[in-house]
Amino acid sequence: MVPAERDRLPEYPEELRPTPTVEDYLGVIYVLARDGESVFGRKLADWMEVSPPTVTATVQRMVRDGWVTMAEDKTIHLTEAGRRAAASVVRRHMLTELLLARVLGVPWSRVHEEAHKLEHNLTTETAARVAEVVNESTVCPHGNPLPGHEALTEELIPLLSAAPGQRYLLARVHEEIERNPRMMAFLEEHCVVPGAEVIVIEVLPYNETVTVHAADREVVLGLAVAAHIWVEPLAAAANGA
């Protein structure tokens, strides 16, 4: 453990944590804002799988309680308190995923859902202990960055921009896919997981598919899924070998 590293991580007082529902909203808003997306109620309804009126009511409460503001164009923005509380729950979510995946051996495709249930109750002290146990990992088991480490994933290459025939290391599967359990099970079954070596065989835009070679097998992915996967080039030496 590097103490300086740990000191940089966002801490948010346990006694000031909002309700689990508000934490869920904050987490989604944080991820969307992290990716530079405009956050609208409709987008939240889609992510949270709740009705637009439910989102409207919850967001109104969150505005009242100072977690978010709503601009004239109806975009939702985190306040400073909202951003800190959001970073805290996103970090607890990812640490819980790491604990489940690395220590408890929960299947990769299942850890997001499991962590979603546990993250709200993780104390600051336990979160710090988990961070130590997972060696201060800066990405979750899906390759998404822990809050404060977003720069790590900026260098990654979208799978759809990868050169066909070249070998890459799969590095990241976005939260947009994480929240789809059947898709996650499919990816895991076909070894389309972080750490796997992948080669793009062909991209067929008119068919909306991309065929990749992963762990010695070919698998056909939809473009919508492939758009949420990132890779990194294998070392030049490895490519030449």
Which residues of the shown chain bind Zn ion in the complex (CB under 5 A)?
97, 140, 142
CB 77 within 8 A of CB 71: yes
Closest to Zn ion by CB, 82 vs 194, is 194
Buried b (16+ CB within 10 A) or exposed e, 32-59: bbbeeeebbbebbbebbebeeeebeebb
Closest to Zn ion by CB, 97 vs 119, is 97
- Provide the minimum distance between the beta carbon of 101 and Zn ion in the complex, in angstroms, as a whole number: 9
Residues constituting the chain? 241
- Provide the minimum distance between the beta carbon of 173 and Zn ion in the complex, in angstroms, as a whole number: 8
Q: Which amino acid is at 214?
A: A
- Provide the minimum distance between the beta carbon of 66 and Zn ion in the complex, in angstroms, as a whole number: 28
Q: Which residue has its beta carbon closest to Zn ion?
A: 140
Nearby residues of 205 by Cβ (< 8 Å), 6 or more positions away = 223
Closest to Zn ion by CB, 159 vs 203, is 159
- In the sheet with 157-158, reading across from the earlier edge strand, the strands are 157-158, 229-233, 167-173, 197-204, 209-214, 217-222
* H/E segment holding residue 198: strand 197-204
- Provide the minimum distance between the beta carbon of 142 and Zn ion in the complex, in angstroms, as a whole number: 4
- Provide the minimum distance between the beta carbon of 143 and Zn ion in the complex, in angstroms, as a whole number: 8
